[in-house]
Structure 1
Amino acid sequence: MTSAEVVPDRGKQVSTTKEKISAYFTIAAAAFGLISDGYQNNLMTMTNVVLKRLYPKDYTSSVSTRVSNSLLVGAIIGQLLVGVVCDRLGRKVALVFTTLVIVLGATLGTAAHGAHGSAKGLFWFLTFARGITGIGVGGEYPASSTSASEAANEQMLSKRGPVFIMVTNFVLSFGGPLASSVFLIVLSIAGENHLPTVWRVCFGVGIVLPLTVLIFRLRMLSSKLYRKGAIKKRVPYRWSLSIIGDRLLAPVAHGRFLYDFVTFPNGVFSGTIISNVIHNSDIKRTAEWQLLLSSIALPGVFIGALLCNPLGRRNTFNRRYLDDLGFSGYLVFGLIIGLAYDRITKIIPLFVVFYGLMQSSGNLNPWESLIVSSGTCYGLSAAVGKAGAAIGTQAFIPIQNNLGKKWTFIIAAICGVTGILVTYFFVPDMTGVDLAEEDARFMEYLRENGWEGSIGEDEDIDLIEGRGGDSDSISLK
């Protein structure tokens, strides 16, 4: 077997007008799809407050945790499942599947009832429905993120990092203010005397959001990067994990697990925390403060998007300093709130501002280092992160009950210290890396290690023998 070098066929990378339009629509559809995810992630924030008001005896802290955590458990399943579907069946199949699953779960949640009006039955029904929704929400992460990354890589490589952040991290974070705004609008129309209608209508809005992008996903084209590098048979999972292990393991430990461990429980239960701080637990006031809190968390995303490319291009360590700055926010604001909890909660505006700045600090981290063109690996990375979110959510109430409410913020500060150390020593810089070139290097790596199989979606190529038809997937020389 002669030596061969696998390189992208530059002559066949010229995008047609249809491909360019499809790429831009793919990026936009990913953004709108992930807005739906962000909405679902934050839907229980005020719903927990409402259900506690409606069912003070039955909606205990353990029930609240179970219902809230079911979305995260479902998300882990969805991320692992759909990550594989992305690679084996294609991005389009995965995106349509996740959309339909979210619609199904949201519909079940909206119509949830317990047998004979049982409150316990209602909460178990909600647990099941939120779990189904979670499978779709979790599946959106690898499906939307990989498709958006590939499309941005083809049409705007130099701006891929900021674009990726804005159509993923930003829209996910935007789900917080959106959920609070929808709640306030519905509450103003229905009134506090019709709280069962309020939370069901909010659930119903979650049905409409994913349907807005379904038509675009049904008509989208697979990215050229996927068509060139798709491996649908004899997938080399062992080699894949070996070559990208350094890029996968660090983001899992840094960007996913620690970030989600702090952010998700503090987001899901923030409405309950604010409700406890407000003396009369007024639902409308709680929602208004919650809207402010979630809005303060948004600027961090913009800062991360603006700085990830300039800092990354100059120096890898500067890129790491930006991540460290994000985790430093957990350390600083977590300690301020935790150590002064009894005093600061008496000044609600100050408490909400510091709370929001802590959340915004987490959003500062520009997760461009998480960009991979493998849905399976992205799904695995995201699933480990959601495991951190599930563990954090499960531990949140017990920490409050056994150690005190201030300790949830002190532990966030401890996670900030851990995040700083992991970032400094392990996180690689992926700024400006062309995913097409990375795919070519990966194919060469497979050839050198004796893998035999076919690549490309249009016409198969025998990687080992170097034979194939007029495919635009890979050129060998």
Structure 2
Amino acid sequence: MNDPLRPSSSLDSTKRTPSLDDAKATTGAVQVVDNKEIERLRKVEKHSSVFTIVAAGAGLISDGIQNNLLTMTNVVFAQLYGKAYTSAYSTQVSNALTVGTILGQVSIGLVCDLYGRKAGILISTACIVAGIIIATAAHGAHGSFAGFIWCLTVGRGLTGIGVGGEYPSGSASAAEAANEKMQRHRGPMFIMVTNVVLSFGTIFACSLYLIVFAAAGGTDANYSTVWRTVFGISVIPPLIVLLFRLRMVNSKLYRDSAIQRGPPLLLTARFYWKSLVGTCGAWFLYDFVTFPNGVFSGTIIAQIVKAEGHEKVIKTAEYQLLLGSIALPGAILGAFLVNPLGRRNLMCLGFTGYLVIGLIVGCAYDKLLKVVPAFVILYGLMQSFGNLGPGSVLGLASAESYATAVRGTCYGFSAAIGKVGAVVGTQTFTPIRDNLGPRWTFIVAAVCGVVGVLVTFFFVRNDLNGDLADEDVKFAAFLKSRGWDGTMGVQGKEALIDREEVAGSSEGKAEE
């Protein structure tokens, strides 16, 4: 009888059948690899929460710049292309980012629940970088102006997908990381790395334009060189923040509570319908007012500035910088007031500001046009109230109102409905201004303020400053009571982190 371990004469003598000792050795090698991987992941996890919070803030700086770049670019294009750059083209390019944002919020919101926050964040960053490159290099075939506009539209749309993905992935992960490191101060910290940073977008974008204008020759600057340089520089922040994001792991909340297969969307809607009405409705109203006023603020100011040519562009940028500077304190104040006042009350206060300032500017519009600084200050105060209330709280409430398993999806959906409001607002802004008069854009903002207070008061919870893990427990209990028998928790390498912790604690108890 042939020995199965003895080399066969018909085979290469260097080959042999694996023995039991070989199998044990292989198992041991796998165990060593697993242990090394666990050790690496646990070392990364020690600093992952910090990386996540810092990266969320740095990433949203980039988003803030992208959201505000077109404000000044529309003014530059009007000077560069004249009547060829029609209001239809302006609206198309402006809405490209918004439509892309909606797609990103919904799709990447699902991705970051199913595959993890890190996956959603990396996809978002890649889209932003690719979109900026396409927009910066935009040209039409054979010099076609329409082709140039469409190329720019595609680039801005792809950028929008990335910007939209930042909302559910970056912001949700920041809320979870802050919950682990500083639960009592989660609200203020979240606002500082989200809304405050986004509010800097206007300041950064305008400052960048002014710096590039000066570097390109001031009043003798070439417009095409200026806007392409500004767009090109804007690709640097997302590339830098990518280094931080490669060093993060998903939060412990996500590792414990994720539903990566078969998320129960209908049961989720049944459990969270009231919160969805609140966050979606309030976000729609906020973006309906804020977004068109942000996009067209440069055009509005340019129309009342008494200057022409390059001087008009520079003056408009300076007033835009003032406008952004006035709006910024509202976001900072929101971070300080969110815990003492509560989420719901602070949102109501912000929407009330829309009502008061909107009516003042709307009723005194003709007189204010004669004093441009006064107009800009009141305009900025209205935006500051928006930053104080809904701007600061909407993202926070959308992160805190929902369980970890569906946080990305519900957050992304709420933000997407908000951006639908932005599209509707952008599309109706010009018709309202042209048919009813410019003052009515502010009166409509006042009406939205009233509706915003009502939606917030009746549908947004005011008990959102507790441990996010408690919401996970409530959601899991609801699913179980309705017969859902799915599994929670991550699959793959990151699951090893917590298994090792459990094993370690078990060994400790056994020794005792």
Q: 1:307 aligns to what? A: 337
Post-superposition shift, 1:321? 3.4
CA shift, 1:147, in A, is 0.4
TM-superposed CA distance for 1:410, in Å, is: 1.1
Q: 1:326 maps to what in 2?
A: 350
Q: Deviations over 1:390-449 (max 9, x none)?
A: 110111112111111111111111111111222222221143221112112211221221
Maintained 8 Å contact 1:309/1:431: no
**Which runs of structure 2 are paired with 1:372-411 in the superposition (5 Å)?**
372=402, 373=404, 374-411=407-444
The DSSP-based 3-state class of the residue aligned with 2:246 is helix
CA contact (8 A) 2:398 2:410 kept: no
**CA RMSD, 1 decimal:** 1.9
Tell me the equivalent position of 2:372: 348
Q: Secondary structure at the match of 1:163?
A: helix
Structure 1 position 248, deviation (Å): 2.0
Among 321, 336, 339, the residue aligned to 1:291:
321
Partner of 2:116: 90
Q: Give the TM-score normalised by structure 2.
A: 0.84
Aligned residues between the structures: 445
Percent identity for Structure 1 against Structure 2 = 56
Q: Write the letter of the residue equivalent to 1:211.
A: L
Q: 1:228 aligns with which of 236, 240, 256?
A: 256
Amino acid at match of 1:286: T
- Which residue number corresponds to residue 271 of structure 2? 243
Higher Cα Rg: structure 1 or 2? 2
Cα gap change, 1:344 to 1:90, in 2 (>3 Å): same
Rounded to whole Å, the distance in 2 between the matches of 1:70 and 1:394 is 12
1:203 paired residue number: 231
Q: Matches of residues 47-196 of structure 1 in structure 2 within 5 Å?
A: 47-190=73-216, 191-192=218-219, 193-196=221-224
Query: 19-28 or 146-155: which moved more?
Result: 19-28
Question: Which residue of 204, 210, 213 maps to 2:241?
Answer: 213
State how far apart, in whole Å, the 2-side matches of 1:244 and 1:165 are.
23
Measure, in 1, the Cα distance between the counterparts of 2:122 and 2:295: 27
Aligned to 2:292: 265
Contact 1:458–1:471 (CA<8 Å) still a contact in 2? no
Contact 2:44–2:248 (CA<8 Å) still a contact in 1? no
- Displacement of 1:387 in angstroms is 0.4
Give 1:45 shift: 0.4
1:49 and 1:208 map into 2 onto residues whose CA distance is 24
Q: Is the 8 A contact 2:56 2:174 kept in 1?
A: yes
Question: 2-side partners of 1:444 and 1:43: how far apart?
Answer: 46
- 1:60-110: CA deviation from partner (whole Å, max 9, x where unpaired): 111101110110001000001000000111111111110010000000000
Letter in 1 for 2:81: Y
| In the alignment, structure 1 residue 439 sits paired with structure 2 residue 472 | yes
Equivalent residue letter for 1:407: W
Matched, 1:414 2:428: no
Check the 8 A contact 2:212/2:229 in 1, yes or no. Answer: yes
Offset from partner CA, 1:175-221 (integer Å, 9 cap, x none): 11110110100011113431101111111122111101111111211
Paired position in structure 2 for 1:6: none
1:448 aligns with: 481
The alignment's TM-score, normalised by the length of structure 1, stands at 0.90
How does 1:458-473 map onto structure 2 within 5 Å? none
Where does structure 1 lack aligned partners over 5 or more consecutive residues?
A: 1-14, 313-318, 461-467, 473-477
Please report how far the alpha carbon of residue 320 of structure 1 lies from its aligned counterpart in structure 2 after TM superposition. Answer: 3.5
Q: Which moved more, 1:116-125 or 1:205-214?
A: 116-125
**Closer/same/farther in 2, CA of residues 122 and 458 from structure 1, 3 Å limit:** closer
**Of 407, 417, 423, which residue of structure 1 is paired with 2:456?**
423
Asked whether the equivalents of residues 459 and 470 of structure 1 are also in contact (C-alpha less than 8 Å), the reply is no
Q: Tell me, in whole angstroms, the C-alpha distance in 2 between the residues paired with 1:272 and 1:213.
A: 32
Aligned-partner residue type, residue 338 of structure 1:
G
Matched to 1:341, the amino acid is Y
Distance 2:117 2:344 in 1: 31
2 CA distance for matches of 1:471 and 1:392? 51
Query: Residue 287 of structure 1: CA displacement?
Result: 0.3
Any conservation in 1 of the 2:278–2:459 contact (CA below 8 Å)? yes
Residue 21, structure 1, aligned to residue 51, structure 2: no
Moved over 3 A (4+): 15-18, 468-472
Structure 1 position 245, deviation (Å): 2.0
Distance 1:187 1:110 in 2: 17
Residue 118 of structure 1 aligns to which amino acid in structure 2?
A: S
Q: Which amino acid aligns with 1:354?
A: L
1:458 Cα deviation after fit: 5.1
